[in-house]
Structure formats: C-alpha cells, structure tokens
C-alpha cells in the first residue's frame, strides 16, 4: 500500500519504503548513426542500414556525428544540467551476438553532460524534483531475433551504432507512479527539444529501473549524508518499454525484495528482466560493476572538446519547454492550472492549441480543444496528430462563436459536420442556414406564442421566477437551437415583465433576479462550452 507520495509495503516485522533511480536510454533523433553515415530510419529491412564500422569490420575507423553531439548538448540544457566542454569516449567491453565489435563505444569517466534536475508533475497535479546525475552518449547494440527459426537465432544490425543518450537519475523516486511521471516528463522534454522521438513501442526510449527497499527514515538519512549504506541492495530491471510496465515491474520487484528480507534472506545485486505476460521479474545475470566491462579510452577517438560558442548557440536557440509554456498559459492567457497543464503536457497538443488560439479568446479556445476535441479523440482512440479536425477548422468554429454567428449548441453541430465531412466551418454555417437568430423582434414573437399557449407556466414563473428556465428551453426548441440564448433570456424577461400583477414592480424585480441567476449558473450550457 502507498501513502500520498511514499510507497509503503506492510511487512510482518514493520513497514518498508521504496527507493528508485532510473537509467533511461533515449535514441538520439538523427539521420545517421553516432560514428557512421548509416541511416537510422525505423522499420527498414533487416541489415540494410549497416556500415562497415557498425559491422565491426577490421580497420574501419569511427567518425563522430556532430549532429548527435549537438542533440546531447541540447538535451542537457533542457534538463538544466551542466554541459562538460571536455568529454571522452571509452570502450565498454562485453560479448553479445548482436555486438559485432565486441565492445560498445560509450562514455564512462567523462560524460558530455553532468548534474541537473527536472520538475515532474504527478497525476494529482503536485510537483516533485528529480536530480539528474549524468547524460552520456553511447552506441546501441543490434537486435537478436529468436522467433524466426526453432533452432537458430537471427541477428539484425540495423540498430548497431545508433546514437543513444543514457540519462541517469539520482535515487530520488519513491513510488511507481512517480517513476512513470518522471519518464513521462522526460519524454515530453525530449519531444519539445526534438532530440528524441520518445516512442517506447519503437524502442526510441527504454528504462532500466534500479529498485531497492529500506526502513522508514533511512532514505532521509541518505539524503542528509549522501551515503548509500542507508539504502537497501538494489536490483536493476532491464529494458522496460512502457509506463504501465514500469509501474508493474516496480510493484512486483519491491514486494519480492520485502518478502525475501522478511524471511531473513538477503537481496542479491543483480540484473533482472520484466516478464510482461506473467507480471513478474526474472533473474538475468549478476549486476556488473564498471571494472567488469574493462573500460578504457577508445584509441580511435580523440577526447571531445566543445567550444563555448557551440554551447551558447545551442542554448540561444532552445525552444520553449513545457514548464515555461504551462506558466505562460496561466500568466499571460489566463488559463486554469489544469487546462494549462493538459495543453502543455504534450508538444503536439500544445502546437495544435496555439494554432487554434491565433487571434481568439484563450479560454474559449482552450475549452474547445480540451473538452470537445480531446474528448472526441479519446472516445475514438485517436491521437492529436490523427485528428480529422484541423486546428484551422476548430479555430474557425471558435471565431464563429466569438462573433455570435453561431451559439455554443450550434457550434457542436458544426463540429460534428467538420469531423465527419470536413470543410470550412463558415461556409457550412452559411450554406446550411445554421446562423443563430439575434433579431429580438423575431424572438419576442416566438416568446409571445409560447406564453399564450402555457398560462400555467406563466403563473408558476410569477410565483417562482427561477423556473423561467423552462421558457428558455422552449424558445431554443422552437427556434431549432438558433435563437441567441442571451437574446432569448432578455426577450422572455421583457414579455413576462409586461404582465405585472397588483404588486406593481415586484414581479418584474423577481424576474430580473431570475434572469441573473440563469445567466450566472449557466443553465443553457454544459460544462466546458459557451453560449
């Protein structure tokens, strides 16, 4: 079970708490690999994007891709991290069938990015900070394929040599939900920066989750002293590729460790895999230390030295990041914290909203994007980039509401037409006779007819003026929803007020109060829409 922001597991001998740090591998968004000119496009035929360098052919020399270096620096700046002007590439030696070089070119002692931090948002809107220990560049390995033959394993080297950024967090994460929120925030930042696609299903991001448990109070001692002796032995869950699986893997692993400790056992430091089908972690190998990989400086690559001007140019051209955008939406546009958070949480959503916003009322635009559009997209299982309604079309609908050409109710009908058929909202309204009626004379005529036909309702309104909402509904029904709601309210009030009783202006006064109440409580509109 978990408390508000600390995951607590009840044991027979007392409570246990969860402590985690994550190593996120993010594929650098680039057209070529880290040390070769081979392409990096997803979905290519196996072994069609492999250079001699990637294949580990003798005598082939790596040449660093400047674009990948720039992407790593941009990412470091977006993580509020220290950019190291001096960094070095090392050989990390280990054997895998899909690692033809017999080593991975990585960074160990001298990474390109040092310490930083990011602010993450939980589902409940609260914020927490996670420290970044480092970011370093390294090559990805190839891919072993086991399901094409019962007796053989095939190797695809298309990913061999693809540039990765390994982003290592501090052990500042305390719940499965916070782990998912951290990865989600990191993915959003990378997408804003355009340094990583962030598609976990395509392998563009994957997480190694280091999980340990400790007694209450020990984590606070770790924070105070910096000594890991206060924390439990960690196990690394390797290559988890979805937010849901990250949470499931953590929950299982934490309980597994507590069960062992409660029985008097000890936790082996090891690397484990998450079996998504069974929902369990399984032992893969003992956890290696740095010396096991026999790191040494790559003899084919000189140290990487960045000029101050190179870093300054990249910093000067950083885009507005999600936290900054959210703040601007609140302070400059007057949006609620919730609306701003929803819109800024995804770059594609934010871009869509800002196109709808152009020259229009911010709150009305936000209502239509967050409520009408996102609601319909969620219902249909579509992403924002798959929306049948373009931002220009939705902006056109918002404009028609703003200039009172159509009401909020009519706008929903127009939205449905645009969703199903496409087209220009203004032309649709004009050609299909959907403009709202603003002529008070015409509306009053309808009101007169309704009042004449419903004397009992008139009498009721005189006793209980707040029941006037019934007349509003009748007017809207009679006009096919085309009557301007505000004009309808005014016309009803005016007509009813003519029928004063012996108490003089009392009835009129009551009616005016009722009109104000109707307006104030938004009886004509549903949540998230405007008349």
Among 313, 346, 366, residue at a domain's last position: 313
Q: What share of the chain is helix, strand, coil (3-state, %, to 5)?
A: 45, 20, 40
Task: Indicate if 302 and 374 belong to the same structural domain.
Answer: no
What does the alpha-carbon distance between residue 122 and residue 184 come to, in Å, rounded to a whole number? 10
pLDDT at 86 over 90: yes
Q: Which of 80-89, 175-184, 251-260, 517-526 has the lowest mean pLDDT?
A: 517-526
pLDDT at 494 over 80: no
Task: Indicate if 309 and 324 belong to the same structural domain.
Answer: no
Is residue 5, in this structure, part of any structural domain at all? no
Q: Cβ neighbours of residue 474 under 8 Å, at least 6 residues apart?
A: 450, 454
Q: Residue 528: what pLDDT?
A: 43
Q: Which of 171-180, 495-504, 509-518 has the lowest mean pLDDT?
A: 509-518
Q: Residues 514-525: what's their mean pLDDT?
A: 43
How much of the chain, in percent, has pLDDT values that exceed 90?
72
What does the alpha-carbon distance between residue 61 and residue 300 come to, in Å, rounded to a whole number? 7
Task: Indicate if 384 and 407 belong to the same structural domain.
Answer: yes
Task: Indicate if 270 and 368 belong to the same structural domain.
Answer: no
DSSP 8-state secondary structure symbol assigned to residue 53: T
Q: Are 407 and 484 in contact (CB under 8 A)?
A: yes
Among 276, 294, 313, residue at a domain's last position: 313
What does the alpha-carbon distance between residue 308 and residue 515 come to, in Å, rounded to a whole number? 66
Is residue 155, in this structure, part of any structural domain at all? yes
Is residue 274, in this structure, part of any structural domain at all? yes
Is residue 150, in this structure, part of any structural domain at all? yes
Instruction: Enter the tokens of residue 498.
Output: 């003519």
Q: Residue 467: what pLDDT?
A: 59
Task: Indicate if 231 and 275 belong to the same structural domain.
Answer: yes
Is residue 526, in this structure, part of any structural domain at all? no
**pLDDT tens for each residue of 381-412:** 999 999 999 999 999 999 999 988 888 888 99
Task: Indicate if 445 and 376 belong to the same structural domain.
Answer: no
Based on its alpha-carbon atoms, the radius of gyration of the chain, rounded to whole angstroms, reads 31
**pLDDT tens for each residue of 276-321:** 999 999 999 887 777 788 999 999 999 999 999 999 999 999 999 9
pLDDT at 516 over 80: no
Question: In CATH, what number is assigned to the domain containing residue 482?
Answer: 1.10.10
Is residue 15, in this structure, part of any structural domain at all? no
Q: Residue 461: what pLDDT?
A: 66
Task: Indicate if 456 and 419 belong to the same structural domain.
Answer: no
Q: Residues 102-112: what's their mean pLDDT?
A: 96
Q: Residue 216: what pLDDT?
A: 96
Q: Residue 453: what pLDDT?
A: 72
Strand (E) or helix (H) holding 301: none
**pLDDT tens for each residue of 140-151:** 999 999 888 999
Domain holding 383, by residue range, is 320-431
Q: Residue 488: what pLDDT?
A: 61
Task: Indicate if 113 and 255 belong to the same structural domain.
Answer: yes
Task: Indicate if 304 and 328 belong to the same structural domain.
Answer: no
Is residue 9, in this structure, part of any structural domain at all? no
Q: Residues 142-167: what's their mean pLDDT?
A: 94
Instruction: Enter the tokens of residue 42.
Output: 């997803």
Q: Are 40 and 203 in contact (CB under 8 A)?
A: no
Is residue 12, in this structure, part of any structural domain at all? no
SS3 153: coil
Among 407, 431, 455, residue at a domain's last position: 431
Domain count within the chain:
3
Instruction: Enter the tokens of residue 227.
Output: 């000594």
Task: Indicate if 240 and 111 belong to the same structural domain.
Answer: yes
pLDDT at 347 over 90: yes
Confidence of residue 445 (pLDDT cuts 50, 70, 90): low
Q: Cβ neighbours of residue 88 under 8 Å, at least 6 residues apart?
A: 107, 109, 110, 297, 303, 304
Task: Indicate if 330 and 377 belong to the same structural domain.
Answer: yes
Instruction: Enter the tokens of residue 417.
Output: 């037409």
**pLDDT tens for each residue of 122-137:** 988 899 999 999 999 9
**pLDDT tens for each residue of 310-337:** 999 999 999 999 999 999 999 999 999 9
pTM of the model: 0.82
**pLDDT tens for each residue of 66-80:** 999 999 999 999 999
What does the alpha-carbon distance between residue 513 and residue 470 come to, in Å, rounded to a whole number? 16
Task: Indicate if 163 and 296 belong to the same structural domain.
Answer: yes
């Amino acid at each position: 079970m978990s408390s508000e922001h600390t995951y607590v597991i009840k044991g027979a001998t007392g409570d246990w708490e969860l402590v985690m740090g994550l190593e996120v591998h993010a594929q650098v968004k680039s057209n070529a690999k880290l040390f070769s000119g081979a392409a990096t496009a997803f979905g290519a035929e196996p072994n069609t994007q492999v250079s001699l360098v990637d294949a580990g052919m003798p005598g082939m020399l790596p040449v660093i891709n400047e674009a990948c270096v720039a992407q790593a620096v941009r990412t470091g700046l977006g993580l509020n991290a220290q950019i190291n002007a001096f960094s070095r590439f090392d050989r990390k030696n280990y054997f895998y069938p899909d690692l033809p070089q017999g080593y991975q070119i990585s960074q160990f002692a001298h990474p390109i990015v040092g310490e930083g931090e990011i602010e993450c948002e939980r589902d409940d809107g609260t914020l927490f900070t996670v420290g970044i220990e480092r970011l370093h560049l390294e090559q990805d390995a190839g891919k072993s394929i086991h399901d094409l033959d019962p007796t053989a394993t095939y190797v695809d080297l298309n990913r061999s040599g693809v540039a990765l950024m390994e982003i290592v967090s501090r052990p500042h994460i305390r719940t499965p939900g916070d782990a998912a929120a951290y990865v989600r925030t990191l993915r959003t930042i990378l997408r804003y920066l355009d340094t990583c696609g962030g598609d976990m299903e395509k392998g563009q991001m994957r997480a190694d989750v280091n999980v340990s448990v400790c007694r209450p109070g020990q984590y606070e001692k770790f924070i105070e002293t910096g000594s890991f002796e206060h924390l439990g032995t960690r196990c690394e869950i390797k290559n988890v590729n979805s937010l849901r699986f990250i949470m499931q893997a953590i929950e299982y692993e934490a309980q597994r460790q507590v069960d062992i400790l409660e029985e008097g056992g000890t936790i082996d430091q090891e690397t484990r895999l998450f079996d998504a089908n069974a929902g369990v972690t399984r032992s893969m190998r003992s956890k290696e230390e740095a010396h096991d990989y026999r790191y040494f400086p790559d003899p084919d690559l000189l140290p990487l030295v960045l000029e101050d001007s190179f870093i300054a140019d990249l910093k000067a051209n950083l885009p507005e990041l999600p936290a900054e955008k959210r703040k601007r939406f609140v302070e400059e546009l007057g949006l609620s914290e919730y609306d701003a958070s929803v819109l800024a949480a995804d770059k594609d959503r934010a871009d869509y909203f800002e196109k709808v916003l152009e020259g229009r009322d911010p709150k009305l635009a936000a209502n239509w994007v967050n409520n009408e559009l996102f609601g319909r997209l969620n219902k249909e299982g579509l992403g924002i980039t798959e929306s049948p309604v373009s931002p220009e079309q939705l902006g056109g609908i918002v404009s028609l509401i703003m200039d009172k050409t159509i009401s909020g109710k009519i706008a929903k009908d127009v939205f449905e037409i645009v969703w199903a058929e496409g087209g220009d909202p203004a032309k649709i309204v004009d050609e299909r006779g959907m403009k709202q009626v603003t002529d008070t004379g015409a509306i009053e005529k309808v009101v007169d007819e309704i009042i004449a036909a419903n004397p009992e309702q008139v009498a009721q309104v005189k006793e209980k003026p707040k029941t006037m909402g019934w007349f509003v509904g009748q007017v809207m029904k009679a006009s096919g929803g085309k009557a301007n709601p505000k004009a309808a309210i005014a016309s009803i009030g005016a007509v009813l007020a003519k029928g004063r009783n012996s108490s003089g202006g009392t009835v009129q006064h009551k009616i005016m109060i009722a009109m104000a109440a109707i307006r104030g409580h938004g009886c004509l509109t549903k949540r998230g829409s405007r008349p």
